[in-house]
Structure 1
């Protein structure tokens, strides 16, 4: 199992904190947001990671070069990060999706126990990690479920069909990487491909093939860093 981390963006909603550094390089505890992610992956037994860079890539490359330990992390530069969304980013790094892998948003932190739960869950082609709460807002990546089966995913889903939210951690196994690569190829040939989120591809796979499952980590600790308020909240992070 390898990991692919999508860390190309600047994080404009975090300005002025990201004026001169990418979001993934923001300081967290004694390391960075990216450092926390890589440390968690390493403690869970992951030994290979690809970090997709974009804004000020040299800072991320220096961070990776300074790491030691069993996890080997390399950078993949996306020169189109300012004009393309993350579906195109995934398409660019699709050759790395040649075996079982985790796909992780660059702004999602989670405790080791959460990742261990995901890694030890039953093998499925595509699995979206989800959490539940009382209500969801327009910024949440909401999911519609039928049991554990994913029926739809997107920020625009209505409250009545929003049963949980994606935390930004997906697992692909067996036929899953091939299914995802094929859908990326298909969608990148459309007019809207460059501006789409990769979860639009997951939504399309779920609706047409039924090959997308979910795994709930309700009760485990995780955090998403989108805003300055989110970043300040990391001061009380307990994992």
Structure 2
């Protein structure tokens, strides 16, 4: 299997995690004895990774220094989003569009995951795959999707017919990446600044066939708030 690039947009100031992020970027907040970014990087299957591209902004030097101290088996490259205070995830992603255009694994900077599910994602026979949770007992604030025989047929922030939610990571093919880049370039400047990565991808769902991999709720954790950070201490990787 061909190795893949990993892209992690991690430029934001994480205002919902203040005051913790007044002195540290979100990626360096600790879950037990490891930073969020260390959990992420150490749970990537190194034999399947070409390189990791991280788009930085808020306190970028602290993140670089920390990552340099980690014992990793794949190269790390960085891009800088100088407009991180005014922009959202899609803007950061497009800063790495050269690497994205070759296909990539897209990971949100606030997501904890298990290595076994990254391997499932990368070894899927499908070119474009999203990691999802099935809606059973409750819903979250994640974007909603309708899944039919593993295929994502609808995707929206608010979708009444949804039976699943997307948390990522996502595997994106070369052709899909080019479609995303083209669509982004067609957006107004204001939309380019404010658009979330998943919102951009959802707009291409009629042109890009995305399949899904469902994972257990015990196998992922998203960190948006201080409460999330406390709850993540029970997430053992």
Aligned length: 233
Q: Which runs of 5+ in 1 are unaligned?
A: none
Structure-2 residue corresponding to 1:57: 60
Q: Give the Cα–Cα distance (whole angstroms) in 2 for the partners of residues 82 and 11 of structure 1.
A: 10
> Could you say if the C-alpha distance between residues 190 and 75 of structure 1 is closer, same or farther in structure 2, counting changes exceeding 3 Å?
closer
**Normalised by the size of structure 2, how large is the TM-score?**
0.90
Say which SS state the counterpart of residue 23 (structure 2) adopts. Answer: coil
Structure-2 residue corresponding to 1:168: 168
Q: Give the Cα–Cα distance (whole angstroms) in 2 for the partners of residues 145 and 117 of structure 1.
A: 18
Structure-1 residue corresponding to 2:120: 117
The 5-angstrom pairing of residues 159-238 of structure 1 reads 161-187=161-187, 189=188, 191-207=190-206, 209-218=207-216, 221-238=219-236
State whether residues 45 and 118 of structure 2, in contact with CA within 8 Å, keep that contact through their aligned partners in structure 1: no
The 5-angstrom pairing of residues 61-80 of structure 1 reads 61-80=64-83
RMSD: 1.9
State whether residues 64 and 74 of structure 1, in contact with CA within 8 Å, keep that contact through their aligned partners in structure 2: no
State whether residues 17 and 224 of structure 2, in contact with CA within 8 Å, keep that contact through their aligned partners in structure 1: yes
How far is 1:174 from its partner?
4.1
State whether residues 5 and 99 of structure 2, in contact with CA within 8 Å, keep that contact through their aligned partners in structure 1: no
Say which SS state the counterpart of residue 91 (structure 2) adopts. Answer: helix
Q: Give the Cα–Cα distance (whole angstroms) in 2 for the partners of residues 214 and 38 of structure 1.
A: 22
How far is 1:97 from its partner?
1.1
Return structure 1 stretches of 4+ with deviation > 3 angstroms.
42-45
State whether residues 8 and 52 of structure 1, in contact with CA within 8 Å, keep that contact through their aligned partners in structure 2: yes
> Could you say if the C-alpha distance between residues 61 and 162 of structure 1 is closer, same or farther in structure 2, counting changes exceeding 3 Å?
same
Q: Give the Cα–Cα distance (whole angstroms) in 2 for the partners of residues 232 and 44 of structure 1.
A: 32
Q: Give the Cα–Cα distance (whole angstroms) in 1 for the partners of residues 234 and 46 of structure 2.
A: 21
Q: Which runs of 5+ in 2 are unaligned?
A: none
Pairing partner for 2:144 from 139, 142, 145: 142
Cα offsets for 1:2-45 (capped at 9, x unmatched): 10001111211111111111111101233210011011114563
